[in-house]
Amino acid sequence: MVTFDQIFQKYYHSLLLYGLKFISNDNDVNDILQEVFAVVWEKEKYKLETDHLKSYLYNSVRNGCLNYLRHQSVVQKHAEQEKVTASFNELHFYQSGEKSLIEKEGLEKIYVAINSLSDNYKEVIELSRFQGLKNKEIAEKLNIPLRTVETRLFRALSSLRKSLTNKQIYILMNLSLNTAN
C-alpha cells in the first residue's frame, strides 16, 4: 500500500510545476498545494488507485489555481473601484476653500495635453469639458454636423488617453461637473 509520504514525494514537484503554469508566484502555488495535500490526507484520497489519484491531484491543483485567479480578479476590481472612489472623493471635497493639490497638478497636465491637440480637437474639448456644452450645442455653435463633433471628441479623447494617466482622464471627464457647480 502506498503511503501519504510517498504520494507527496512522488507528485509534489510535478504539481508545483503544473501550478506555475497558471500562477507565476511560487508561494501562492505552494499554498494551493498545501490545501490539496491537506484534503488528500484528511479524506484519505491517497488510498485511491494511482490513475484516479493522479487525476484527482492535477484537477485539484488546476481548480485551486483557477479559484485563486478568480479571487485575485475580484480583489483587483475591488482595489480599482476603491481608487476611483478615492479619486472621486478627492475631486469633490475641498479643504480650506481650495481644490486639492493633486487635482491642481492633474489639471496642469491636462491643460498642457489639451494645448498640444490640433485646433479643431482643442476647440471641441474646451466647449465640451470646460463650458459644459452638449454635443448638439457644440455642433450648433460651430455650425458643423453633430457627427463631426462626436468624431472630433472621440479622436481628441483617444489622443489624450495616450498622454494622460487614468486619473487625469477621470478628472478631465468630470470637469464639466466641477465647472457647472
How confident is the model over 28-57, as pLDDT tens digits? 999 999 999 898 888 777 677 778 888 889
Task: Give 62-80 pLDDT, tens digit per residue.
Answer: 999 999 999 998 888 888 8
pLDDT at position 12: 92
Q: What is the pLDDT of residue 97?
A: 42
Return the CATH number of 4-83, one of 1.10.10, 2.30.30, 1.20.1070, 1.10.1740.
1.10.1740
- The rounded distance, in Å, linking the Cα atoms of 40 and 50 is 13
CB 148 within 8 A of CB 156: no
Fold of the domain spanning 94-180: Arc Repressor Mutant, subunit A (1.10.10)
Q: Which long-range contacts (CB under 8 A, 24 or more apart) does 57-61 make?
A: 57/11, 57/15, 58/15, 58/18, 60/36, 61/15, 61/18, 61/19, 61/32, 61/33, 61/36
- Tens digit of each residue's pLDDT (9 = 90 or more) over 110-155: 888 888 888 889 899 888 887 888 999 999 999 999 999 999 999 9
Would you say the CATH fold of 94-180 matches that of 4-83?
A: no
Q: Where are the domains of the chain?
A: 4-83, 94-180
Q: In terms of pTM, does the model score above 0.95?
A: no
pLDDT of residue 2: 74
Q: What is the pLDDT of residue 87?
A: 66
